[in-house]
Amino acid sequence: MSRLAAAFRRKALIAYVTVGYPSVEATLEIVPALEGWGCDGVELGIPFSDPLADGATIQQASFTALERGITPKLCLELAAELRSQMTIPLLFMTYYNPVLSFGVDAFCQASARSGVDGLIIPDLPPEEGQELETATRNYGLDLVYLLAPTSRPERIQQVAQRSRGFIYLVSLTGVTGPRDRLPPGLEAFVSRVRAQSSLPLCVGFGIAGPEQAKRVAQVADGVIVGSRLIQLMETGDPSEQQGFIQQLRQALDFQGNQL
Amino acid sequence: MAGMELPDQRGYFGEFGGRYVPEVLMGALEELSRAYETAAADPAFWAEFERLCRDYIGRPTPLYPAQKLSAQLGGARILLKREDLAHTGAHKINNALGQGLLALHMGKKRVVAETGAGQHGVATAAVCAKLGLKAIVYMGEEDMRRQSLNVFRMRLLGAEVRPVSAGSRTLKEAITEAIRDWVTNVEDTHYLLGSCVGPHPYPRMVRDFQAIVGKESRDQMLAAYGRLPDYIIACVGGGSNAIGIFHPFVDDPQVQLIGVEAAGKGLDTGQHSASLARGRVGVLHGTKSYLLQDEQGQISLTHSIAAGLDYPGVGPEHCYYRETGRASYVAVTDREALDGFQLLCATEGIIPALEPAHAIYHAAQLAPQLSPEQFILINLSGRGDKDINTVAEALREGL
């Protein structure tokens, strides 16, 4: 069983952090801690100068990380260091240009060497993904595609056939960032995808707390949380971050036991 | 030449173009492509477009022989395609009108746009006022400062201007922010992108709406001189005015096409916007093209005295023409553009925008090397009222 497949033995909790935000030390501290607090996977965000799918929180985190000199190469080194301390899957999340600039094949090779399990590239739809699909396959990485509430049936089918590891369901039409509520059509959206795919389905964008996680877990296989965690990292109090992740863990476990 | 059939089904001009966007937008782009295909095949759509081009924009714009400029330079005869005389003062209105009509056809009530120099924002605001659409224009704070006149014009025309404070606070960030708005409000909103960049079908659609500039020029050349020009020169930021005037001449190999990028403070200073001269292939704002970026693939901050050229990417069709050699591209500095600006003011009594002032400068270099039987056609893409403060400041500083 691959590390990524193993993550779905229970309702999966996947956390996103921007590498190097607020500092490299903070990344090296929180990512292993996330495993201990109950996460089943971590997305390591490689910062990009023009993150067009991201809201204010991750934009700011990305700009700050770039100002501090974070590069894809450094992210690869940090991933290798984290991998040596952790067993849960690590995924890189970034935009396509840094990957293209690094060299698609070289980036996949380096990611695999660093012990990274998969890639999520929000501005790379399957139509443009052929080259990266081939390279990720060659190096044993999963390439996770995204679906949105606006995705038509034929697109759902395409992503169901080509996504590997899981499918990332964007909960809403919008950019990343916590929301007070998730859209009413979320359950119907997840069912539409479920009908086409046997892959695990993880819901991200907008997740602000345990109530939303519980709702998502009723229909999906995992929850992805990013911006809210980064906001908590800004205050610098690890107990708040820990409390937040543990609450989500409990909400998912509660929901998992109900099913 | 195959140029007329491009882009292909996937929106590619050779290896450039495509559709690199978040999944949320894929449905909207497919819808837009279908709506545009339908409109493009419908003579009634083009009849309405052409009627409004005539009655609202004031087309055809004149093809003006710049005799005094030509005489002073000696050599080739210089002609100006007077897009500065189009309603709202630049070629931008052609595309804004076309896409505005398309938004109506698609039943969209809300339009978002980005603007650099403000000309696309003003054109969008005007068209939306006329067609009864709500307009929201994203504009970098730096551009709002240097183009304050256009900010006021947009507001007068009923648009909401939203300042963007990220990064270099110019066009790149304004586009990113407009895309974020579109991602969020995709159900009722059309993104009225102002240049031949962005995901498919924008580069094609914007080109088609701007091609009216080239088609008119061609007819006017044949009517007045019985021949085509030897050179066509146009400035290139994203490249919409250039692609508009180039495209109807792509299959005429005797016509040399020259795009002029902004060399800013100099190509070796790192402070310029010359994506074709100094860029590498990459992906930004939904399209694969030459991009100014660092070694890590982070997009560079750019500079040009002309806000409308201050962009790190360039339309994929220009990349293709450069690659195939159909067009050539040169770069002109801020200082040289100011010379071109003053030259046209002094010789012809026409105040050009700083963007086409780049093209004027290059034409002024080229003309003396040619014979009086040869013609240079410059796309005078906009008027310079918006730039008066910038020029005054630059001349005071002795640039």
Structure confidence by residue, pLDDT tens digits, B162-174: 999 987 788 999 9
Q: Annotated catalytic sites of A, by residue? A: 43, 54
- The two three-digit tokens of residue B155, written as one number: 């507001």
Binned at pLDDT 50, 70 and 90, residue B371 comes out as very high
Please write the tens of the pLDDT for every residue from A79-97.
999 999 999 999 999 999 9
B195, B216, B381, B386: which one is catalytic? B381
Interface membership of A104 toward B (CB under 8 Å): no
Task: Tell if the CB–CB gap between B10 and A155 is shorter than 8 Å.
Answer: no
Amino acid at A103: G
Lowest-confidence region among A25-34, A158-167, B140-149, B361-370? B140-149
B33, B108, B114, B195: which one is catalytic? B114
Please write the tens of the pLDDT for every residue from A143-176.
999 999 999 999 999 999 999 999 999 999 999 9
* pTM across the whole model: 0.96
Interface membership of B170 toward A (CB under 8 Å): no
pLDDT of A1 over the 70 cut? no
pLDDT of the residue at A2: 77
Please write the tens of the pLDDT for every residue from B328-347.
999 999 999 999 999 999 99
Specify burial of residue B211 (Cβ count, 10 A radius: 0-12, 13-18, 19+): middle
Task: Tell if the CB–CB gap between B285 and A125 is shorter than 8 Å.
Answer: no
Interface membership of A150 toward B (CB under 8 Å): yes
pLDDT of A142 over the 60 cut? yes
Of B26, B283, B293, the CB nearest to A96: B283
Ordered structural domains, chain A, with CATH: 10-145+208-258 (3.20.20.70)
Binned at pLDDT 50, 70 and 90, residue A60 comes out as very high
Closest-CA distance, B186 to chain A, in angstroms, reads: 7
Query: How is the beta sheet containing B12-13 ordered, strand by strand?
Result: B12-13, B16-17, B287-291, B280-284
Mean pLDDT of A171-182: 92
Task: Tell if the CB–CB gap between A148 and B22 is shorter than 8 Å.
Answer: yes
- Distance of alpha carbon A26 from alpha carbon A6, whole angstroms: 27
Mean pLDDT of A232-250: 93
ipTM: 0.95
Closest-CA distance, B340 to chain A, in angstroms, reads: 34
Please list every residue in chain A whose beta carbon sits closer than 8 Å to the beta carbon of residue B19: 125, 127-128
- Give the rounded percent of residues in chain B with a pLDDT score beyond 70: 99
Q: What is the mean pLDDT of chain B?
A: 96
Please write the tens of the pLDDT for every residue from B55-95.
999 999 999 999 999 999 999 999 999 999 999 999 999 99
pLDDT of A256 over the 90 cut? no
Please write the tens of the pLDDT for every residue from B235-281.
999 999 999 999 999 999 999 999 999 999 999 999 999 999 999 99
- Backbone φ, ψ for residue B188 (5° rounding): -110, 5
Please write the tens of the pLDDT for every residue from B108-144.
999 999 998 899 999 999 999 999 999 999 999 989 9
Mean pLDDT of B157-162: 98
- Give the rounded percent of residues in chain B with a pLDDT score beyond 90: 92
Interface membership of A143 toward B (CB under 8 Å): no
Longest CA span, chain B: 56
- Distance of alpha carbon B343 from alpha carbon B357, whole angstroms: 9
pLDDT of B378 over the 50 cut? yes
pLDDT of the residue at A57: 94
Q: What is the mean pLDDT of chain A?
A: 95
Binned at pLDDT 50, 70 and 90, residue A254 comes out as confident
Of B23, B27, B179, the CB nearest to A52: B179
pLDDT of B323 over the 50 cut? yes
Q: Kindly list the distances between the CA atom of residue A244 and the CA atoms of A34, A182, A208, in Å, as whole numbers in the listed order.
A: 11, 18, 10
Q: How many CB pairs (< 8 A) connect A and B?
A: 119
pLDDT of B2 over the 60 cut? no
Task: Tell if the CB–CB gap between B27 and A150 is shorter than 8 Å.
Answer: yes
SS (H, E, C) A124-154: CCHHHCHHHHHHHHHCCCEEECEECCCCCHH
Task: Tell if the CB–CB gap between A49 and B167 is shorter than 8 Å.
Answer: yes
pLDDT of A237 over the 90 cut? no
- Residue to test with chain A: of B23, B31, B280, most A Cβ within 10 A: B23
pLDDT of A255 over the 90 cut? no
Residues making up chain A, counted from first to last = 259
Lowest-confidence region among A172-181, B210-219, B372-381? A172-181
Is residue B165 part of the annotated active site? The answer reads no
Closest-CA distance, B279 to chain A, in angstroms, reads: 12
- Residue to test with chain A: of B19, B24, B179, most A Cβ within 10 A: B24
- Residue to test with chain B: of A64, A97, A169, most B Cβ within 10 A: A97
Q: Kindly list the distances between the CA atom of residue B191 and the CA atoms of A53, B100, B174, B186, B320, in Å, as whole numbers in the listed order.
A: 16, 10, 12, 9, 25
Mean pLDDT of B310-339: 97
pLDDT of the residue at A259: 62
Binned at pLDDT 50, 70 and 90, residue B1 comes out as very low
pLDDT of the residue at B3: 44
Mean pLDDT of A34-41: 98
Task: Tell if the CB–CB gap between A123 and B280 is shorter than 8 Å.
Answer: no
pLDDT of the residue at B4: 52
